[in-house]
Amino acid sequence: MIADSIENKKQYECLGAGFKLGFEFIEKCVAENLPVGKYELDGKNVYASVQEYDSKTEARYEGHREYIDIQFIVSGEEIMEWKQRSESEQNTEYNAEKDVEFFDVSDAVRIPFKKNEFAVFFPNDVHRPGMKLNESVPVKKILIKIHK
C-alpha cells in the first residue's frame, strides 16, 4: 500500500507504464473536469472510473487478485482502511469476472485522504475506501485499475 500526494507521482511511474498512464489521466481529468464515467486507457490493461458519492459509514473490506488500484481524491475527504491480505480472513468466493473478494478484518490501519492525495492498493492488500472522516461529505474520486 502507498499513501502520498499527487505532487510526488513521478516517484511511482517507475512501477510501470500503467502507473504513468494512470497519473497522466488523473492530470487530464482534473484539468478538464471530466464527468463521472468509465474511461479506457489501455484496453483491459489500464482503465479508469470517475466517481462521485457521499463518504460512508459502512462498507466491506475488499481485495483484488489481478488489478492494482490507484484511488485519487479530486475533492472531498475520506478514510481508506488497509490491512495485509495475509492477516485478513476471506468471507466470500472470489469473483473472477469482477476481480473482487471480500474479507473480515480487525485492527485495520485508518488513513485520512483529502484533495490531491492518493492510495495505491496491490493484490496483497485488503482495503475499505470511501469511509467518512467526521461526517459524510461529497467525494469525487478517480479510480485507476492497472493489470498486474
Give CA 36 to chain center in angstroms: 15
* For range 107-117, the mean pLDDT: 97
| Plot region of 39 (φ>0 → left; ψ -120 to 50 → alpha; else → beta) | beta
Residue 63 confidence class, pLDDT cut points 50, 70, 90: very high
Grid cell in block for residue 111: 488513513
Give CA 67 to chain center in angstroms: 11
Which domains are seen in the chain, by residue range?
A: 2-147 (2.60.120.370)
Residue 79 confidence class, pLDDT cut points 50, 70, 90: very high
Could you please report the per-residue DSSP string of 1-24? -EEEEGGGGGGGGGG-HHHHHHHH
Q: What is the pLDDT of residue 30?
A: 97
Quote the percentage of the chain above a pLDDT of 70.
Answer: 100
Residue 148 confidence class, pLDDT cut points 50, 70, 90: very high
Give CA 65 to chain center in angstroms: 14
Q: Are 99 and 65 in contact (CB under 8 A)?
A: yes
pLDDT tens-digit series, residues 22-33: 999 999 999 999
Give CA 10 to chain center in angstroms: 18
Among the listed residues 126, 16, 129, the one whose alpha carbon sits nearest the alpha carbon of residue 72: 129
Residue 116 confidence class, pLDDT cut points 50, 70, 90: very high
- This prediction has a pTM of 0.96
